[in-house]
Structure 1
Amino acid sequence: MIDFSQSLLDNRAIRARWTHLLWIVLPLAVLGLAVAWLVSSDPLSSFRNGAPPVENLTFERTILGNGGIRVLVRAGGSEPMTIAQVQVDDAYWQFSQDPPGPIARGATAWIAIPFPWVLGEAHAINVVTKTGMTFGHEIKVAVPTPTRDSMSFAAQAVLGAFVGILPVAIGLMFYPALRGVGRGGMDFLLSLTVGLLAFLLVDALGDALELAGEAAALFQGPTMVVLAAIASFLLLMAAGRRRGTPTGLALAVFIALGIGLHNLGEGLAIGAAFASGAAGLGTFLVLGFTLHNITEGIGIAAPILKQRPPLWVFVALTLLAGGPAVIGLWIGSLAYAPQWSALALAVGAGAILQVIVEVASMLLRDRDGSPRALFHPSAMAGLASGVAFMYLTAMLVKI
Structure 2
Amino acid sequence: MEEQKRSKAKLVASGLIPFIFLIVMLAYIVGPGSTMIDLGVPLPELTVEKIDFVESEILVTVRNTGPIPVDVTLADVNDRIQPAAIEPDKHLERFETALVKIPFGWNEGEPYTIGLTTSDGTRFEKGVDAAAPALKPNSETVGFLLLIGTYVGVIPILIGLMWLPFIRKISQQKYIFFLALTVGLLLFLGIDAIEEALEVSSENLAGAFNGPLLIATTVLVSLFGLYYAGERLTKKSSLTKIANPYSVALMISIGIGLHNLGEGLAIGAAIGLGQVALSTFLIIGFALHNTTEGIAIAAPIAKEKTFIRKIIGLGLIAGVPAIFGTWIGSFGYSPFTSVIFLSIGAGAIFQVVIVLSKWLREYDKSFSSTPVVAGIAIGMLIMYLTGILV
The normalised TM-score by structure 2 is 0.92
Counterpart contact for 1:106–1:218, Cα < 8 Å: no
Counterpart contact for 2:223–2:348, Cα < 8 Å: yes
- Paired with 2:371 and 2:347, the residues of 1 have a C-alpha distance of 27
- SS for the counterpart of 1:118 is coil
- Paired with 1:33 and 1:205, the residues of 2 have a C-alpha distance of 39
How far apart are residue 292 of structure 1 and its match? Answer: 1.0
- Paired with 2:269 and 2:335, the residues of 1 have a C-alpha distance of 9
Letter in structure 2 aligned against 1:106 = F
Return closer, same or farther for 1:41/1:356 CA change in 2, 3 Å cut-off: closer
Equivalent residue number for residue 7 of structure 1 = none
- SS for the counterpart of 2:189 is helix
Q: Does 1:231 align with 2:221?
A: yes
- SS for the counterpart of 2:70 is coil
- How do 1:107-146 residues align onto structure 2 when only pairs under 5 Å count? 107-146=96-135
- SS for the counterpart of 2:66 is coil
How far apart are residue 34 of structure 1 and its match? Answer: 4.8
- Paired with 1:34 and 1:376, the residues of 2 have a C-alpha distance of 58
Letter in structure 1 aligned against 2:345 = G
How far apart are residue 32 of structure 1 and its match? Answer: 5.0
Return closer, same or farther for 1:28/1:189 CA change in 2, 3 Å cut-off: closer
Q: Does 1:377 align with 2:370?
A: yes
Equivalent residue number for residue 43 of structure 2 = 54
Counterpart contact for 2:90–2:98, Cα < 8 Å: no
Equivalent residue number for residue 195 of structure 2 = 206
- Paired with 1:32 and 1:352, the residues of 2 have a C-alpha distance of 39
Counterpart contact for 2:56–2:106, Cα < 8 Å: no
Equivalent residue number for residue 337 of structure 1 = 334
Letter in structure 1 aligned against 2:256 = I
Counterpart contact for 2:156–2:291, Cα < 8 Å: yes
- Paired with 2:355 and 2:175, the residues of 1 have a C-alpha distance of 15
How far apart are residue 58 of structure 1 and its match? Answer: 1.1
- How do 1:321-360 residues align onto structure 2 when only pairs under 5 Å count? 321-360=318-357
| The one of 127, 144, 159 aligned to 2:148 | 159
Letter in structure 2 aligned against 1:107 = E
Return closer, same or farther for 1:184/1:35 CA change in 2, 3 Å cut-off: closer
1:346-390 superposed Cα distances (whole Å, 9 cap, x missing partner): 1111111111111111111023xx21xx32222233222211111
Larger Rg: 1
Letter in structure 2 aligned against 1:250 = S
- How do 1:73-112 residues align onto structure 2 when only pairs under 5 Å count? 73-112=62-101
| The one of 163, 173, 180 aligned to 1:191 | 180
Aligned length: 382
Equivalent residue number for residue 261 of structure 1 = 258
Equivalent residue number for residue 248 of structure 1 = 245
Structure 1 regions of 5+ residues with no counterpart? 1-9
1:110-151 superposed Cα distances (whole Å, 9 cap, x missing partner): 111111111111111110001111101111111111111111
Structure 2 regions of 5+ residues with no counterpart? 237-241
- SS for the counterpart of 1:109 is strand
The normalised TM-score by structure 1 is 0.90
Moved more, 333-342 or 224-233: 333-342
